Chain A
Amino acid sequence: MNAPFTTRRDVLRYGAAGGALVIAAPLAACARPSRADATPAVSPWFEGAVGGFVIINPDETVTIAFPNPEMGQGVDTSLPMLIAEELEVDFDRVSTVQMPLEIERNAEGEIGWKYVPQGSGGSTSVSGHYEALRQAGALARALLIAAAAEEFGVPAAELAASKGVVRHEASNRNATYGALAARAASIEPPEIAPELKPASQFTLIGTPQKMKNARAIVTGKAVYGIDAEKPGMLHAVMARCPYFDGTAASVNDSAARAIDGVVDVVKIDGPKPGEPYSVQAEGYAVVAKTLWAAMQGRRALEIEWERGPFADESSESFKNHCASLLEGTGQIVREDGDFSAAFANAADTYEATYWQPYISHAPLEPQNCLADVTDDGVEIIAPTQMPSGASREVAAALNIERDKTKILPTRLGGGFGRRLSNDYVVEAALISNAVKAPVKLLWTRDDDLRHDFFRPAGMHQLKAAFDADGKMIAWTHRLASASKYYRRPNLPETDYWQAELYPDDFPAHLVDNLRVEYFSAKSGAPRGSWRAPAHTANAFVVQSFLDEIAHERGEDPLDLRLRLLGAPGELRYEQHGGPVFNPGRLAGCLRLAAERGGYGEAMPAGRGRGIAGHFTFGGYCAQVVDVAVDDQGNLKVERVVGAVDIGTVVNPNGVAAQMESGVNDGLSTALRLAINVEGGRVTDANFDTYELMRIADAPPIVETHIIDNGEAPAGMGEMSIPPLAPALANAIFQATGKRIRTLPIADQLLS
């Protein structure tokens, strides 16, 4: 593509609401193809950075770059919609591309974002960019209008832009964006940010849009990290110590080196026990001219592993460890009123204990990274949720300045939180540095399942008390788990709970006597953030427990929830997703899901309908799950009806997709997923034992009902998972009378 124009200045800064510095970029030239599906699966696709967010070509096609990595959550469409809304272009003519990591050094010499933050995590992409990307679009539009004003010799105020055309009504003259683009790029950007449209004038935000890169995907042309290539590239696979914090006792690599095509065997040092992870485990990389040769080479490695400090850990031993911790007294992380006194004097008390195992992210594209370390720096092409983290960690590992890192995130074959960690990126950089060539490192499935940062396993004990009038007066949540907050710099163990218990979660502020108690368990299994982190575990136990209480009290489970949530209002919520939790919005989701899902209708024998709702990272979601369980205990989920309130919705089609995704992810996890530990290592190696759900178990009907109330936008990547498992368990209870307190369900229902 010929650059249609160049800019004198490609960065502008505007003060935005809340005092944050928002950086927007105007039109910029680019030296890369403008269509994602017309690109080869080699790295030149990534060369020639998009200088800003918008490229307007002379042929009127428009390319919009999305800053955050796309992993299936739909930011390749939703984020460009924000820009296009203000830019006033026909969205059907817009193609979208991934922006490389754009960081720069400020006047003080500190590294910061060049345009906007670029990580995908915590359901923050839309909410975090809602202002900045609309401003970027508005700025581009303002420059195009200014260009037309010059061309027509009229005041800009007399011009209006719509669908890629600037029109001067009085003289009946039009100019297309393609014709104006070159002139627009030479115009001095305005000092004051152009005004943004009020929501009432949106024509694109809130309309259902299909995913922009669908055609590239169905034709096999979408480029993932695993598809990246560079001339002269070598391939690597690694043998890592399978034991938690274990090491190599002896290594014989002569057979591996003898294999045709093998170039080198490179040792990668593991982290010191207890120290923060850069890479996860000690290991040996076999580097070869082809992937097949590298894999043969790995098979030929002879390594004896020391089993390390956790050699005795097993799934069972860890569960017993958690159970014994709960016998004692833990760290009180929230105490409202006097739980013990209220519980002791209550009319009715309830108690239940639940268990959830370690689970793996298991994105279908295993970890991989193409790293090219040269004297000039390092180029990384990788599927990563956190390209800036990749830059930081690679720079640290190679002891170079971050300015010398160039990070090109690809489309991700799933993320689910696994690729918040860049351990595989660091490995690839170290290997490339050792062999002085571009190297693509591929993890095989056993690598991925054994060396994940797992969703923490944990045992939860819940207790609640009601007075004689039926008012809930006391509640406690006691959790023993090995937190994902550990092995972090300067983080004392007394802070570990913060990742596993969110003390402002329901029923905080809604019950007078509340105690939240944490027990920090010891485990060698690496832990990390798994889609909707602690909300998956905590929603399961809280929403299951509410159901248990309701049944014991003879109350309708929905009515109990609604009366405990009480009136709408703004309750303080200091964890991620705050600053406010409004119980009325969650109640609204529960009511809508119940109404559309027919909750409370009489069910025939062997069938059940369960409900649950949860507040996750600023979004409210409730689901009604229908199940059928036959005489043998075979479970079928027949329908899920979801209701969601995430404030202003950008792409309702994407919201529905994420509802469906969360439903299936939650169901898959509840049905069969557990990571098994034996002898200080993970024993699962593939999908034969880590049984991700297939279509036969997926509900044939998933409904999405959206409450779009104009509130500030939240994300939608995670909030649809937490309600699923408890709604499912509650439905199973109605169908069978059996209460699921241990996940996965596995064969618990089989007779």
Chain B
Amino acid sequence: MPQLTINGRKVNYNGDPGMPLLWFLRDEQGLKGAKFGCGAGLCGACTVHVNGEARRSCVTPMAAVESMTVTTIEGLGTDDALHPVQEAWIEEDVAQCGYCQAGQIMAVAALLETNPSPTDADIDESLSNICRCGTYFRLRKAIHRAAKMKAGDAA
């Protein structure tokens, strides 16, 4: 039976291999943090990590995640210890409606793994998630803050 790991838990999947991961997460696993925004990989509200990399789960078929490790916003941090990106988001008070923010946070958390101290230009180039409320000003500040917090954590 095809298996994958979601937030540290092994789960089985026997359904349509063409169904995107997002539907499995939201409708079968009860993980509703990743959101449906466009269904076409354009807005990033559904961003999760697959083997540590940011992926648009609305266009990632289940067949493509067999035996892989998926992390969603629910598994990014713990109640006692949020991920630095989540902490930074609270500190900078980024969210407005908040609908895109789980995807933004997952995208930024993945970015900081490969680029621990992104410049503004790096951010512009690598972050394509849409925020309809227009929280980009605080979002940018929160990315820089998270990078510093994460560097501090590591030191």
Residue positions of A touching B, CB distance < 8 A: 41, 70-74, 210-211, 213-215, 217-224, 226-227, 235, 290-292, 362-366, 411-416, 442, 444-445, 653, 657, 660-665, 667-668, 686-688, 692-696, 698-702
Q: Are B23 and A695 in contact (CB under 8 A)?
A: no
Interface residues of B in 134-149 (CB under 8 A from A): 134-140
Is B33's CB under 8 angstroms from A221's CB?
Answer: yes
CB pair B40–A445 under 8 Å, yes or no, is: yes
How many pairs of A and B residues are in contact by the CB < 8 Å rule? Answer: 183
Residues of A within 8 A of B151 (CB): none
Is B123 an interface residue, CB under 8 A from the partner? yes
Contact across chains for A688 and B93 when beta carbons are under 8 A apart = no
Once bound together, how far apart are the Cα atoms of A254 and B11, in whole Å?
34
Closest to B24 in A: A292
Q: Bound state CA distance, A657 and B139, in angstroms? A: 11
B93-123 with Cβ < 8 A to chain A: 93-102, 105, 120, 123
Nearest chain B CB to A355 CB, angstrom units:
24
Contacting pair B95 A217 (CB below 8 A):
yes
Q: Is the CB of A214 within 8 A of B93?
A: yes
In contact, A664 and B72 (Cβ under 8 angstroms)? no
> What would 10 A/B residue contacts be, using CB atoms closer than 8 Å?
A211-B93, A215-B90, A219-B82, A362-B132, A364-B43, A364-B130, A660-B134, A661-B134, A662-B134, A665-B134
Of chain A, the residue at the smallest CB distance from B139 is: A695
Report whether A693 and B82 are in contact in the complex, using a CB–CB cutoff of 8 Å: no
Any A CB within 8 A of the CB of B70: no
Residues of A within 8 A of B52 (CB): none
Q: A356 to nearest B CB, angstroms?
A: 19
Give the interface centre of B38, B90, B102 by most chain A CB atoms within 10 Å.
B38
Q: Which residue of B lies closest to A413 (CB)?
A: B99
In contact, B127 and A695 (Cβ under 8 angstroms): yes
CB neighbours of B101 from chain A (8 A): 217-218
Looking at chain A's contact residues, the main secondary structure is: loop
Residue pair B86, A364 in contact (C-beta under 8 Å): no
Q: Specify which of B16, B26, B42, B77 is in contact with A219 (CB 8 Å cutoff).
A: B77
Q: List chain A residues, Cβ under 8 A from B100.
A: 364, 413
* Contact yes or no, B35 A224, CB < 8 A: yes
Are B137 and A365 neighbours in the complex by a CB distance under 8 Å?
no
Q: Find the A residue at minimum CB distance from B78.
A: A219
Min C-beta distance of A207 to chain B, whole Å: 14
Instruction: Say whether B37 contacts A445, CB under 8 Å.
Output: yes
Contact A664 B137, CB 8 Å, known A364-B43, A657-B93: yes
| A445 → chain B closest CB, angstroms | 5
CB distance from B15 to the nearest CB of A (A): 8
Closest to B90 in A: A214
Most interface-central of A218, A699, A702 (chain B CB within 10 A): A218
CB of B96 to closest CB in A, whole Å: 3
Q: How far is the CB of A671 from chain B (nearest CB, A)?
A: 12
Given contacts A364-B97, A662-B134, 13 further A-B contacts (CB under 8 A): A218-B86, A219-B73, A290-B27, A364-B35, A365-B97, A657-B93, A664-B131, A664-B136, A665-B133, A665-B134, A686-B39, A694-B130, A695-B136
Q: Which residues of chain A have C-beta atoms less than 8 A from B33's C-beta?
A: 219-221
- Nearest chain B CB to A589 CB, angstrom units: 20
Chain B residues proximal to chain A, CB less than 8 Å: 16, 19, 23, 26-27, 30-40, 42-43, 45, 72-74, 77, 79, 82, 86, 89-90, 93-102, 105, 120, 123-125, 127-140
- Given A72-B97, A220-B72, the answer on whether A695 and B42 have CB atoms closer than 8 Å is no
Q: Are B35 and A214 in contact (CB under 8 A)?
A: no
Q: Are B23 and A292 in contact (CB under 8 A)?
A: yes
Among B34, B98, B127, contact of A222 (Cβ-Cβ < 8 Å) = B98
Please give me the 7 A-B residue pairs with the lowest Cβ-Cβ distance, nearest first.
A220-B33, A664-B134, A413-B99, A72-B97, A72-B96, A698-B136, A217-B98
CB-defined contacts of A416 to chain B, threshold 8 Å = 132
Q: How far is the CA of A210 from the CA of B89 in the complex (A)?
A: 11
Q: Is the CB of A219 within 8 A of B38?
A: no
Residues of chain B contacted by A694 (CB below 8 angstroms): 127-130
Cβ of B134 and Cβ of A41 under 8 Å apart? no
**Chain B residues in 8 Å Cβ range of A665:** 133-134
Contact A653 B93 (CB under 8 A): yes
Please give, as numbers and ranges, the residues of chain B lying within 8 Å of A696 by CB-CB distance.
124-125, 127
**Alpha-carbon distance A620/B78, docked complex (angstroms):** 43
B3 to chain A, nearest CB (A): 20
Of B32, B37, B135, the residue contacting A661 (CB under 8 A) is B135
Determine if B124 and A292 form an interchain contact, defined as CB atoms under 8 angstroms apart: no
Nearest residue (CB) in A for B73 is A220
Residues of the A chain whose Cβ atoms lie less than 8 Å from the Cβ of B120:
700
Q: How far is the CA of A660 from the CA of B137 in the complex (A)?
A: 7
Indicate which residue in A220, A235, A292 contacts B19 across the interface (CB closer than 8 Å): A292
In contact, A210 and B35 (Cβ under 8 angstroms): no
Contact across chains for A687 and B93 when beta carbons are under 8 A apart: no
Name the CB-closest residue of A to B130. Answer: A692
Q: Given A290, A364, A701, which contacts B45 in the complex, CB threshold below 8 Å?
A: A364
| A362: chain B residues within 8 A (beta carbon) | 132
Task: Specify which of B27, B31, B34, B133 is in contact with A292 (CB 8 Å cutoff).
Answer: B27
Closest to A220 in B: B33
User: A695 contacts which of B31, B99, B124, B133 (Cβ < 8 Å)?
Assistant: B124
Interface pair A366/B102, CB less than 8 Å apart? no
Q: Is the CB of B99 within 8 A of A657?
A: no
A249 to B66, CA, bound (A): 44
Given contacts A214-B89, A657-B96, A695-B127, contact A700 B137 (CB under 8 A): yes
B95 engages A218 (CB within 8 Å):
yes
Contacts of A70 in B (CB 8 A): 97
When distances are taken between beta carbons in the complex, the residues of chain B under 8 Å from A444 are 39
| Pair B40/A220 contact, Cβ less than 8 Å | no
Q: Are A214 and B137 in contact (CB under 8 A)?
A: no
Q: Are B96 and A661 in contact (CB under 8 A)?
A: yes
Tell me if B138 and A660 are in contact (CB < 8 A). yes
The residue in B73, B89, B101, B132 that gathers the most chain A C-beta atoms within 10 A of its C-beta is B132
- CA gap between A689 and B61 in the complex, in Å: 24
When C-beta atoms are compared, the residue in chain A nearest to B142 turns out to be A218
| B98→A702 contact, CB < 8 A | no
Which residues of chain B come closer than 8 Å to A415, judged between CB atoms?
97
Name the residue in A227, A292, A444, A699 with the highest tally of chain B Cβ atoms < 10 Å from its Cβ.
A292
- Name the residue of chain B whose CB is nearest to the CB of A361: B132
Q: Tell me the smallest distance from the CB of A308 to a CB of chain B, in Å.
A: 26
Find chain B residues with CB under 8 A from A218 CB.
Answer: 73, 82, 86, 89-90, 95, 101-102, 105
Whether A226 lies near B38 (C-beta < 8 A) is no
Q: Looking at the assembled complex, report how far the CB atom of A585 sits from the nearest CB atom of chain B, in whole angstroms.
A: 25
Cβ distance A398 to chain B, nearest Cβ, rounded Å = 27
Contact: B125 with A210, CB < 8 Å? no
Q: Which residues in B have their C-beta under 8 angstroms from that of A663?
A: 134, 137
Give A450 to B127 CA distance when docked, in angstroms.
Answer: 27
Q: Shortest Cβ distance from B125 into chain A, in angstroms?
A: 7
Cβ contacts under 8 Å, B96 to chain A = 72-74, 211, 657, 661
* Least CB distance, A363 to chain B, in whole angstroms: 6
User: A701 — nearest CB in chain B belongs to which residue?
Assistant: B137
Complex Cα spacing A702 to B139, Å: 12
Q: Which residues of A contact B82 (CB under 8 A)?
A: 218-219
CB within 8 Å for A445 and B38 given contacts A220-B72, A692-B130 = yes
